[in-house]
Amino acid sequence: MSKNGFLISLLASVATATLGLGGCSIQNTPHSPTFESDIKEITASRCVRCHGAGGKLNGDPTSTDPSYRLAPIDGYFDRMEDDCPDAQPFNCHGLGHYTSGDKLTQLKNFIHNVGGIPMPPAPAPRLTSSQLDIFDLWLANGAPAE
């Protein structure tokens, strides 16, 4: 094989490999994500330090926004179900509470940083594009628990 033929072959191989990796996020997105198998892992890595770690709502002492240094008033994202004794309005709802109606819109806005209220707040790392793909598909499928 000539030197030019070798270079063309090498470039074609690199291009094929690169194109094959281009859709990596979509290829790794489960077709039917569930809370237990997919979402719980995401919330554990990005949300639960404030929304439910140790069974508590916690402020983020490292947040660049002082309002996030206080604990949130609701949202335990380590579970789907509510734990609301006597119709308690706050400090008792699982992630399932945020998967319909106005709360669903609010959740989507938070994770996609629509309206300037990013979740998780800086300096915590944002959800990756793959995590957002999984979260969005889960919500579009009706947010199944299992």
User: What range defines the domain where residue 100 resides?
Assistant: 26-140
Q: How many domains does the chain have?
A: 1
- Distance between CA atoms of residues 66 and 49, nearest Å: 16
pLDDT of residue 17: 37
- Distance between CA atoms of residues 59 and 69, nearest Å: 4
Residue 44 within a domain = yes
Residue 82 within a domain = yes
Whether pTM exceeds 0.95:
no
Average the pLDDT over 128-143 and give the result: 96
Mean pLDDT estimate for the chain: 83
